[in-house]
Amino acid sequence: MAFLDVSIRVALAFTFLVASVSKVCRTESWRSFLQAIEASGLTPRSMAPAVGFTVVLAEFAVASLLLVPHSAAAGLTLCILLLVVFSSVIARSVRRRDRTPCRCFGGSEEPVGMVHLYRNIILLVAAASGLAISLSHDSPPQAETLVIGIPAGVFCAFLVMFLSELHTFFRPSSSTQRTQSR
């Protein structure tokens, strides 16, 4: 269980750290993120900077809390709350057929879609599992667990962060679909 605990916390921490940093690392990324908030129609335009700052701060808080064993439960709880909110916003956008680009990890031009909702569901399941595991034990991980768990968590984080690109890569092209339907 310690391996899963470390792997899940590292995967989520790395994912949320990249998400927060990618929104603020360049002025263009920050502006694009604020435009996506404005386009969602969920907040008044004047509130977009405050909402954006709050999102980035909360994502960074999740990453920070998850990396400290004694605050893992708090980090996982905040992670779950954020993912529920993010998933609700994505589901609303998908229902409305919005073409607003996903700015979850910075500068993607791909519109928010079901693959982003699936990604959040995967993250929610991981966070809920991590919370259950972290509440069931309180011992610090051993060195061998860290040696395997940290790279495994980073690898899983990359898979989750690039899920949209992987989906596009492995999706049959429209010419392949037409050929197979004949």
What is the per-residue pLDDT across 78-136, written as a single tens digit (0 to 9) for each? 999 999 999 999 899 889 888 877 777 766 677 788 888 988 999 999 999 999 988 88
Domain count, the chain: 1
Model confidence pLDDT, tens digit, residues 162-172: 766 666 656 67
- Give Cβ neighbours of residue 75 (< 8 Å, ≥ 6 apart): 9, 12, 13, 61, 62, 63, 64, 65, 66, 68
Nearest to 110 by CA among 95, 121, 94: 94
pTM of the model: 0.81
Distance of CA 52 to the CA centre of its chain: 15
Q: Using the predicted structure, report yes or no on whether residue 58 has a pLDDT greater than 80.
A: yes
pLDDT at 80: 97
Q: Bridge-partner residues for 101, per DSSP?
A: 111
pLDDT at 169: 59
Mean pLDDT of 56-63: 96
For CA atoms 21, 68, 134, 149, give the dihedral sign. positive
Range of the domain at 89: 2-181
Helix, strand, coil: what percent of the chain each, to 5?
Answer: 80, 0, 20
pLDDT at 56: 95
Mean pLDDT, the chain, integer = 83
Q: CA-CA distance, 91 to 132, in Å (whole number)? A: 26
